[in-house]
Structure 1
């Protein structure tokens, strides 16, 4: 069945902060430019997960009257606590003077990024942008000259066996003069574009963390609206890993807590999910959660490679924006403001190109415009934070960051290197002892399947598996004997299992559980797992993450 197509001036893939900011800015500049946004979630915000302490700089540029317009940006940060957790019982609060200034949050807000994206979508639609949730961009379309022509959404109603069901409906082609890819961290079309156009030539590999997050309703006497708590050290350091936690007090006696595990860890027995469960039992954290009720669970990978890993963001017919290009500022543990700014700069360049009657060009001026923006300058000044953490660990790395950022404002005349990809850091299981994690108590700590239930994840079961293997033999024949098949542990949703059967072990993929975090695509030591989009609307349905 031939696919139908629709033509727009600009097609945007992904209704996250960068994509929606770009859509709004284009229409602000020229209401004659037609813009559509496709979003694979069941609604805008359904797949959005972030901490999130929010810096409103880009939002203020985009909508100076955002307060009057009712943006869901309400809880201003009132306090910053940073702890080094020494072990399971002890923690040392870090004096404010010794904290890198990027971790100070005066003037910032604690928000639900999902709800902010819902609000941005309302503003975009009021400006005339067409937004289509439930449609997953599954394929990049190209013109004969090699430039990007647009995208095709995935076919619906295809069975697990590849056959068309009665409900079959072919995907739709969306053609644009320019296509902006705003899929977020490890976007699967972004990966293809980076490879096709060699956009990462001369760059270091991207680096990642896996962020696992929960929202709790806690007793009023334990709640301090506006309090921000970050920690480093235990539990990850106990198993030779790096990362840190966040705990934010939002409105309505709710607390957001989470753990970011750096995916450069070496021990294949490490389980980021179980490290997070342990973390909640530390007295520094337990005091806020005890007696509360867990409401929502989710997980998402983040890009943390910084400028050194950022690919060229423009190519014939399109651009990468937001975390499809790795714009997160790891030194601040924030990325929404830089993602939005990258989208706004792209919008301005695209609007000018269309005004000049250009189509499907390589808008090279975007590269220079982005480098002249405050977003790039911010990332450049803080470029050494992540490599320092990898090179020297959280404590010494943070001490270096204090000197680099607080004293020299990021102007030290060198750039630290971090040239080894995260998946290459994994070492053989024979070099480690299996980790025995405590059983969940059902009060503060929980199992994976109970947690996934709270993510409201749902996929049509009779569809091709969206977690594809380049070689189906690798998990059992190589990853299992060499690395004790770490997919069982690095996945925070119980997607991957080794099933022992009479004829031998079998690798099982429970694709219905997938929360679209992309960790498997990143951390698999043989890069054998490739995440592709399932049917539109599949995946988590986060209410306010």
Structure 2
């Protein structure tokens, strides 16, 4: 494969990922200079197909990028009207008064949105400005220049056989070169992961932390619908088994987003995040809301949760990491889209200045400085201790000490705790199965709760079967020889799409099966596998979920 010759195209800036970060960068570049040649490459079948987010949008990022978005017809039309926070027990709930919450937790002024639809709209605006956007173009590798700088990507490779050899219909793809390359791949991007390792960008950062977010869209009884209502819960069913919580957002058209987040630093390998989500919907408060309704969509996505301490250096020779490729989610607020947009805008401004000065392929240090000292850094820094408190001391400490810490940051701009560390990676946090109790999960009832494969059909995910599996094993023996006896085969549970299974056949050795066709591109396996043996790579372009309104 090394001898393959590819055609190349030259641009000023090459952007990987048509999410809020990448599209913001593209729009801002064209605002600054309409003559700049800008291309956005998106692995989904269309813009928005792979976008999954809560989402309550803080409009500050969009206000900075497109101040007239309200007059421009943006699909951002459901303002938050009511903000609720509950602690759940198995049979009841306790509402936490809003006045005890730090002001930054207030959602008034924010909007309930489909980020997929917001990105579709942003892509239209970008194309109107002259940005070239190519969906269905997965970027499979990086291209380096003579001095080791990143000068482009390889995109659009199709037609490989399952063993990786070219088929009769093989298309080698193209090299797209840029003076700068922006990686806006989202959480645990495959190219971003390579870049962070190659240039040792995380050497001064804490380990990145993650959560698994699962989401369903429900159409509910109009009498129970309350447009603009935002509800967050903590507590049951997770208890002491894991950190996390839920969100229930009432958007328009009698639809509700029902979501559940499990922090991936849980120790008990018997934990089954997907089944925790399904069990949550049987809580009396939630079951009553959903009774008589129907689920119309499902999806899952990892979330970066490390925050301020885990930010790697965001620049490298020839490019920059945008948004959640670096990890810019404000964990207690469950918001990162505003920071993604601000990062795209800042990276565009840094590249514009560099290109105007005749530079190319160098390190855009001004962007990294802006991320840390500007609004993104300020947003992340004031909540920096909530996640490590939760990880190391549990929910009560996070709510009490973390809440106090957010108040002091809000009032005085400082923390009495300084900056706490995260400790282990999420993979290393996984304990040995023999030290933990198994967990008995109720069988899904098919009305409120569903088995994984049924739900995955509502993600409309599809992968061409006659291609190499995009989920790679560093060592094929590890799942059966190590992960099964030591950790009870956790991949069969942590994957929210049922990709992995251990198959026992009479008289034969246990087989580890990868059903890559089910993959919804959440990246949990790449993060949580205790042996760090699974590597998520891009399948051929256009494959994966096809989310409608996520």
TM-score in terms of structure 1 length: 0.98
1:328: how far off?
1.0
* Distance in 2 between residues matched to 1:491 and 1:368, nearest whole Å: 36
Match of residue 215 from structure 2: 213
Give the aligned partner of residue 247 of structure 2. 246
CA distance in 2, matches of 1:45, 1:3: 28
Q: The residue matched to 2:511 in structure 1 has which SS?
A: strand
Deviation at 1:303, TM superposition (A): 0.2
1:89 aligns with 2:91: yes
SS of the residue corresponding to residue 196 of structure 2 reads helix
Contact 1:101 1:405 in 2 (8 A): no
Unaligned runs of 5+ in 2: none
Check conservation: 1:41, 1:539, Cα contact below 8 A.
yes
Secondary structure, in 3 states, of the residue corresponding to 1:504? coil
Distance 1:177 1:163 in 2: 32
Secondary structure of 2:462's partner?
coil
Asked if 1 retains the 8 angstrom alpha-carbon contact of 2:408 and 2:414, the reply is no
For the 8 Å contact 2:47–2:135, the answer to whether it is kept is yes
Report which stretch shifted further, 513-522 or 401-410.
401-410
RMSD: 1.0
Residue 368 of structure 1: SS of its match in structure 2? helix
Aligned to 1:165: 167
Equivalent residues in 2 for 1:33-182 (5 A)?
A: 33-86=36-89, 88-182=90-184
**In the alignment, is residue 476 of structure 1 matched against residue 477 of structure 2?**
no
Give the secondary structure class of the aligned counterpart of 1:165. Answer: strand
Structure 1 residue aligned with 2:323: 322
Q: How many aligned positions are there?
A: 543
Deviation at 1:407, TM superposition (A): 4.0
- Please give the alpha-carbon distance, in whole angstroms, between the structure 2 residues aligned to 1:528 and 1:154: 26
Contact 1:157 1:463 in 2 (8 A): yes
Cα shift readout 1:402-421 (whole Å, capped 9, x = no counterpart)? 21122441511411111211
Tell me if structure 1 keeps the 8 A contact 2:382–2:409.
no
After TM superposition, list the pairs within 5 Å mapping 1:286-301 onto structure 2: 286-301=287-302
Contact 2:521–2:545 at 8 Å: present in 1 too? yes
Q: Match of 1:519?
A: 524
> What are the residue-to-residue correspondences of 1:412-423 with 2, within 5 Å?
412-413=415-416, 414-423=418-427
- The separation in 2 between residues aligned to 1:479 and 1:278, in whole angstroms, is 26
State whether residues 19 and 343 of structure 1, in contact with CA within 8 Å, keep that contact through their aligned partners in structure 2.
Answer: yes
Partner-residue secondary structure (3-state), 2:510: strand
Take 2:366 and 2:397, find their aligned partners in 1: how far apart are those partners? 39
CA–CA distance in structure 1, aligned partners of residues 502 and 56 of structure 2: 38
Which residue pairs with 1:187 in the alignment?
189
- Residue 268 of structure 1: SS of its match in structure 2? coil
| Alignment match, 1:341 | 342
Does residue 539 in structure 1 map to residue 518 in structure 2? Answer: no
Preserved CA contact (<8 Å) 1:100 1:401: no
Contact 2:408 2:415 (C-alpha < 8 Å) held by counterparts = no
Work out whether residues 218 and 288 of structure 1, in 8 Å CA contact, stay in contact via their aligned partners in 2: yes
Matched residues in 1 for 2:279 and 2:125: separation? 41
1:517 Cα deviation from its structure 2 partner: 0.1
Residues 240-296 of structure 1: per-residue CA shift (max 9 Å, x gap): 111010000000000001100000000111011000000001012112111101000
Residues 100 and 398 in structure 1, CA contact (< 8 A), matched pair in contact too: no
Q: Does 1:428 find its partner at 2:432?
A: yes
- Paired position in structure 2 for 1:12: 15
Deviation digits for residues 199-235 of structure 1, max 9, x if unmatched? Answer: 0012110000000000000010110000001000111
Give distance in 2, aligned partners of 1:433 and 1:380.
37
* CA shift for structure 1 position 370: 2.3
Distance 1:294 1:354, change over 3 A: same
Give the Cα–Cα distance (whole angstroms) in 2 for the partners of residues 408 and 202 of structure 1: 23
Distance 1:505 1:388 in 2: 40
Q: CA deviation at 1:497?
A: 0.3
Cα distance in 1, alignment partners of residues 160 and 511 from structure 2:
25
Match of 1:28 among 26, 31, 49: 31
Matched residue, 1:358: 359
Aligned 8 A contact 1:39 1:131 in 2:
yes
Q: CA shift at 1:64, angstroms?
A: 1.0
CA 108–3 in structure 1, closer or farther in 2 if over 3 Å, else same: same
Cα offset for 1:391? 2.1
CA contact (8 A) 2:238 2:244 kept: yes
Determine helix, strand or coil for the equivalent of 2:391: helix
Deviations 1:105-157 (A, max 9, x none): 01000000000000010111011100000000110110010100110015201
Structure 1 portions without partners, runs of 5+: none
Name the CA distance, whole Å, in 2 between partners of 1:528 and 1:113.
32
Which one is further off, 73-82 or 157-166? 157-166
Deviation at 1:103, TM superposition (A): 2.3
Task: Give the drift of 1:394.
Answer: 2.0
2: CA distance, partners of 1:171 / 1:298: 29
How far did 1:376 drift? 1.2
Output the CA distance in 2 between the equivalents of 1:319 and 1:22.
11
> The residue matched to 2:362 in structure 1 has which SS?
coil
Q: CA separation in 2, counterparts of 1:474 and 1:272?
A: 22
Choose the corresponding residue for 1:462, options 463, 466, 471.
466
